[in-house]
Each structure stands twice: as structure tokens, then as C-alpha cells.
Chain A
Amino acid sequence: MNSPPISDCQEDWTTIIKSKSSWFDLPVKELWQFRNLIKLFVWRDFVVQYKQTILGPLWHVLQPLFTTLIFTLVFGKIANLSTDGIPQFLFYMLGIVLWTYFSNCLTKTSDTFITHSVIFEKVYFPRLSIPISILISNLISFCVQFALFMVVLCMFYVKGVEVRINSCILITPLLMLLLAGLSLGCGIIITSLTTKYRDLRYLITFGVQLLMFATPVIYPVSLVPDKLKPFIMLNPVTPVMETFRYAILGAGTVDIRHLIYTALITIAVLFFGSLLFTKVERTFVDTV
């Protein structure tokens, strides 16, 4: 045997598997050890998406453009909804790009356990690396789409539209962090619950679609009747949407208290989510 002598066996265990986990046990260190895996998952998400497609990554750009076009046509030209004086195309496009990030993160993370059950049953790696890789790969496509939005914005500027980017743009990274945290938190709560109750899977697919209408994506908060406003503001995505829009396009309802509300909700959801997730991941293979 060529293993080095071990002085004190009681102290040297690399892993201790217990029947009960401590009540809050985030495997941060382990996730760091597996950062290469997270990187590869992100890479896989991208590569796989465009295998056997002709347009490849161009779809990243086409998707928001077409959706914006349709939204402009339907909600702008036909329904004639107000956009706070912002050019309709810009208004819808920013909303769509942001909403796409949130909804993609949410729907995909909420399916973590079920889509990956086969691999989870066979091999151990920190389960959280899957939702985290989902956040990152969606963040990359968000960046691409946001860059595209900026190009469109420049085109409008060249055509003489006033651009009202302001100092609030400095907090947009923070806004993205809130959006990411919120979707991750909700996603891992839902995926933890779906291991037992599959119903949630069906709920989430149309729930997210409906949630878009409860979020100021296609309309500004200023358009919402006063009676309904409190309900719209209850949605923690609303302040993020409005502030982001204000930062780039210069119109929107911004209130620091609303942002603090969103931040608190995000922290709560993340905390509760990781609690549930780390509890469920230990035995979910027995129930899935």
C-alpha cells in the first residue's frame, strides 16, 4: 500500500454522511470545487441549443426582435396602450429582454430535479450547480440581447429620438442581481416541491405566462388604475422592471421603498429556497 500514514483517524475524514443535515447547510465550498462543472454546464446549454440549427446563435437575437415586433403591433398599434412617451419599440423590447431573463431562469430552475433525475440518481455532485449554471447561461444570453437593445437604441438616437439614460444605470447590475436571486429562489422552491407534487410543473408553465401580465412588461405602472396599483406593486418584479426602464429610457415609477421590498422578498425566497432545496436533495431520488 502506498498511501501515506495517517496520524489521527478521527480527524481525517474527508466526508461524513449523516442521516440528518444541519438545518441550514449551503455547500458553498463544494460548489467552488465543482466550478469547472458549472462552467461546462453553461457551455453545454449554449452548444446544445444550436446543434443542428442553421441560424445558430442568431436565434438569440431574432427571438426578442420578433417578439418586440409583434408586441408593438398588437399592444402598441392595435390596443394603443400608453408607453409613458417612450418609443413603443424600445419600450417593449427592454421589457421583453428583462422578462425573458426572469421567466427563463424561473421555468428552467424549477425543473431542475425532474429533468436531471436520471443523472442525479447515478452520480453525486452539488445539485445546486444546475440552477446556478442556468442563471449564468441565461445571463449571458441576456447580455447579448441587451447589447442588441443598445444597438437599437443607438439607431433611434441617430434618427433623432431623445435618449434619457441617467445615473440610475449604475444600479442596473444590482437590479439584475435581484432578478436572478428572485428567479433562483422561486425556482428552487418549486423544483423542491415538484419532487413530491408534480402538479406544480403544470402550474409553472402557464403561471409564468400569466405572471407577465401582472408585471409591467407591456404597460407602464403609470397606466395602472389606482385601485389595482397596490396589487401590481405586490409583485416583486415590478419595481425592478420600472427602475430598469427609468434608468435606460427615462420614464417609470421609481421608489426606493419598493426596491427594498423586492430585496427583502428576494432574500427571504432565497433563504427559504436553499433551506428546502438542501433538505430535498438528500433523498429526492427515493421519491421522484
Chain B
Amino acid sequence: MSDIAIQIDNLSKVYKKGTISSRTFNDDVKRFFARLKAQPDPLSKVDEERFGIQQNGYLWALKNINLKVKQGTVLGIVGKNGVGKSTLLKIISKITAPTEGEVKIKGRVASLLEVGTGFHPDLTGRENLYLNGAILGMSKAEIDTKLDEIIEFSGVREFIETPVKRYSSGMRVRLAFAIAAHLEPEILLVDEVLAVGDVSFQKKCLGKIGDIVKQGRTVLIVSHNLGLIRDLCDECILLHEGQIVEQGVTADVVSKYLALTTIQGSNKSAKFWPNQNDAPGSDEMRLNSIQISDENLSMPDSYDSGLAIQIEIDFNVLTELRGMRFVIRFITCDGHVAFASTDHNIRDNELKTGNYKSVCTIPPNLLNQGEYLVRVSADIPGVKVIIIDNELLSFTVFNSGTHGSHFPENWPGIVAPRLQWETKSVD
């Protein structure tokens, strides 16, 4: 009870859609006169029907959020774009006020969402370091003691007396992150900032965040990188249309999120488009269907890893096409691309108008057990994209073959190919 770092009660946030400036003065005048006459606000539609997501120019970015975050928890926030993840962090960090409800916080909050803002191009690295530190809420003494460490971490020591405007963008980001990473807040908010810098710097950042986590601080992370969420977070919440739809252990929430982003419907292993106008594609080519089956052409709910799995794409070519290819991506339930595959022969082929079927066969004993999502895209490399990469199907693999019988435990790895082994006596 006493170790709650953040408590959110009935939090809601409404945004007004469309341009704000053009008619507002008019609206404001109307409101003003209505208030004078003690009439209800003529433009308030928010209060009347507050439980719809979007109505009449208003958007509920967050709706009735209730959440308690214990001290020392690393909480992941997942959800599709535009479901209110960043808005939630903005409210917690006091950048914008909620429309309803309240947030209670214990301890200093700092966020990593502002990497590099507040840098003044004409000031040197060192000068900016002090300024940025102060903006983020560090005292001068705090900056003084950590100065060396920060400069070291950023790796821009030689340029620390150079105006920041002469920095490369990578250097700027590194310096900014170094400052933010050395804040010592009780609560840290991280919003998708880890996609900065080169690979080695990203590694360094992840290490730093790992350290912060180990120090027992409360951390809230927004990210689309589910692998990162899985590695760092103890708990997760899943936001959907401004509401928390799932909350709990990371693995459960992540798989729920993935289920939400895939097709909704009973049959996940086949998809048909009887109406060509709705089918994915363009004027050149449209899909008829995609189906998954095993090598016996049956379509069970889950597939035996000992049998080959086939993905069949049925499509109509509407105008003559040259060099088009399909790319199929197989995604594991925690968001990693297991592998991607394309038909290397079709690329140089000319396709006359007509009906075609492409079949991709996954050999037996390749996939590990678990759920896989199938994403399909079609393009003419370097020319145009015909179908953008989207999740269409999913299937589950179970082990009945060698792995299944001999190793009933979960076998690690994204794939579990059967490789050639040989053991012989060398005496």
C-alpha cells in the first residue's frame, strides 16, 4: 500500500480535432455570451456524451485510466500508434494537463523524451550541458559532480568546447542522451528514444537503462520494440483507443497486443477476398486469397513442426507486370522477425493478366513451437510497392517430431531446425 510511486485516478484527456485557430475566436465569443446569459455552453459536446471515442470534433486520447505503479516497477506501455501512450507520459511529466482525473506522484520525475531539446546551437557542448541539465531539473552541484562522467559517456570530449551547431546530429543526440541518462530521478519516463545513434551507442544506452532499472527506480517505457519491452519490463499495460485493455505480466500483455494487431476473426489461417475492390493490391494486381495448410493440404488450428507448411497466395494480375515479388515475413509472438522469404524466380518473370497461385513451402523441422504471424507484402523492387507489409495470417506450431518427443521442455530459439549431427568414437 505504501510503496506506490504513481497513482492515476480516472484520467481522461480530450483533444479538439481540426484546426484550432480559424473559428475559435468566434466560438469563444459565443461561449462568452452564453455564459453571460447563464445558458449552457453552446459548443460543449464533450460533457454530454463523454463515452464515445470521437464525436463532433473531439478526440478522447485517454479515457478513464486507472493505474497504480509500485516503486521499483519497470512498466512497459504498448499499443498501436495514436492510442494515447505518449499523451499519458506527457500528463505524468506535467507537460500538458488532463481533462479529467488526477495523477499523484511520489518523487522526482524526469523523462527521456526530450533528448536534445533546449540545446542552443551557439553554445558550446559544455555550456549546453549545464543549461540542459538545469532544464531537466538538475542542480548545479549535481551537474558539477557528474560532469566528467557525462562527457565521458557522450564520447564527444574533444568537441566539448565547440558550439553545438557544428556537431553532427549523432554527436548532438549522444550528448543529450548522456545528460538525460545521468539524471537521478525516482521516476523515469522513456518514450521511444532508443532509436538514436549508432549500434554501439544504442547498446550503451540500453546498458544505462538497465542500470537505472537495477537501482530500483520506477521506469515507464513506451516503445514499439517489443523485444526491448520484454527484456526490461516486469509489467505492462496495453492501451487501446485511450483505455487500458490489458494489464499484467509482460509476456501476457505483449502477446495480447500482438493478437490485437493481427487480424480479428475466427479463421486465422486463411483469408479470402470475394470482393475484389476490398482486396489488398493495386490496379495492377489484387489478392484473391491467402491460405496456410500443411503438406497434406489440411488446415488444422496448429501445425506439426514435423510436417511442411505451405502458404498459398492466390492473386489476379490485372495488367502486365514485370519483376513483381511477394515477400512473406514470419514474426514470432514477441515481435521478432524470424525470417523473411521471397520467390527469387518470379522477379524476372513477366506476368500476363490472369489468375496465379504462388506457394511458399516451409520445410519440416524448421520452426520452433509457438505462434507465428505471417505478414505479406508485394512490390516491384526499386519501382513501387503494391501491397504494403501488413499482418494477414497467423498459425501455431507444435512439436511432435524429434524435439517434441525427446525434449518436451520449451526449446530456446526462434527456429529449431534439425541439423546434421554425428557422434563417433575417435579412439
- The interface of chain A, by Cβ under 8 A from chain B, is 1-3, 5-9, 12-19, 21, 34, 36-37, 40-41, 44, 47-48, 51-52, 118-125, 196-198, 282-283, 285-287
Contact = CB atoms under 8 A, between A and B. Distances in A.
Interface of B: 1-4, 7, 12, 15-16, 20-21, 24-25, 28, 71-72, 90-109, 111, 113-114, 117-118, 120, 122-123, 127, 130-131, 134-137, 139-140, 163, 186, 215-216
Given A36-B134, A44-B123, A9 B95 contact: no
A18 B117 contact: no
Which of B12, B20, B97, B102: most chain A CB closer than 10 A?
Answer: B97
Nearest 7 CB-CB pairings of A with B: A122-B114, A282-B97, A124-B94, A51-B122, A17-B103, A37-B134, A15-B105
Given A19-B98, A44-B120, A123-B113, 4 more contacts: A15-B103, A120-B95, A123-B117, A286-B15
Nearest to A120: B95
A144 B216 CA distance: 51
Contacts, number: 133
Contacts of B20: 196, 287
Contacts of A16: 102-105
Contact of B123 (A2, A47, A197): A47
Contacts of B139: 36
Nearest to A284: B96
Contact of A15 (B71, B94, B113): B94
B169 to A, nearest CB: 16
Given A120-B95, A122-B95, A37 B109 contact: no
B97 to A, nearest CB: 4
A6 B186 CA distance: 14
B1 A9 contact: yes
B97 A5 contact: no
Contacts of B186: 3
Contact of B135 (A15, A48, A123, A282): A123
Nearest to A2: B216
A219 to B, nearest CB: 37
B2 A7 contact: yes
A72 B420 CA distance: 98
A18 B123 CA distance: 37
Given A122-B117, A124-B94, A40 B134 contact: yes
A125 B135 contact: yes
A278 to B, nearest CB: 11
B127 A119 contact: no
A21 B94 CA distance: 13
Contacts of A5: 2
Contacts of B108: 14
Contacts of B98: 17-19
Which of B118, B130, B215: most chain A CB closer than 10 A?
Answer: B118
A123 B93 contact: yes
7 contacts: A1-B3, A5-B2, A17-B92, A17-B105, A19-B97, A47-B122, A124-B95
A19 B111 contact: no
Contacts of B92: 17
A260 B86 CA distance: 49
A91 B91 CA distance: 53
